[in-house]
Amino acid sequence: MNEESVFATIEQALEEIRAGRMVVVVDDPDRENEGDLTMAAQFVTPEAINFMAKYGRGLICLAITEERAQALRLYPMARDNQSRFGTAFTVSIEARHGVTTGISAADRARTIQVAIDPNSTANDIVKPGHVFPLVARRGGVLTRAGQTEAAVDLARLAGLIPAGVICEIMNDDGTMARVPDLVKFCQKHGLKMITVADLIRYR
């Protein structure tokens, strides 16, 4: 099996995203070299959050646009961002209503639904919480070749609300899953896999 054959086309990935399914997005080997479970935020369900927590096992994050972050008055988690890849975490959030402790799959799905609802305002969320927003750079993957931008770009290209839910995929031993591991992961769970590089070329 050559490397090309393990990756789906961007068109195939967009079909999955439009159908509310997850895809695996792999970034550059010279960057984080990780695979993230990625889906359109507007289709998030408790079952999807539970799948990410159980099988992805990384940090479940909400990728949003700068405009959405501003509308919700979400400020950077760190005033002086020193993370290696400039990951734009904001303060964590929770839905103001309709959640209990905030950590359950249902509560996190609810928080995401509220955060991306165009009718929601900053008054509909509280800070801190158990959902971690990430702000995509303007220009998407053409500006920053990151998982955050890929998630927002995929949702936008699919004609959906430009927001995604992402979660890194870890191996059973706690190490990060690389492409050979991710191929097996996708086969096991019936998922399609794409690269950020292909998304950049597509755009």
Mind listing the pLDDT tens digit for each residue in 58-112?
Answer: 999 999 999 999 999 998 887 776 766 667 899 999 999 999 999 999 999 999 9
Tokens of 152: 């927002």
Hey, is 6 helix, strand or coil? helix
Q: State the average pLDDT over residues 120-142.
A: 97
CA distance 198 to 27: 10
CA distance 177 to 18: 26
**Would you say 92 and 102 are in contact if contact means Cβ atoms under 8 Å apart?**
no
pLDDT at 2: 53
CA distance 85 to 80: 13
pTM for the whole thing? 0.94
**Would you say 116 and 165 are in contact if contact means Cβ atoms under 8 Å apart?**
no
pLDDT band at 117 (very low <50, low <70, confident <90, very high): very high
Tally of structural domains, the chain:
1
The chain-wide mean pLDDT, for the chain, equals: 94
What is the domain-level CATH number for residue 78? 3.90.870.10
CA distance 118 to 155: 15
Domain span including residue 181: 3-202
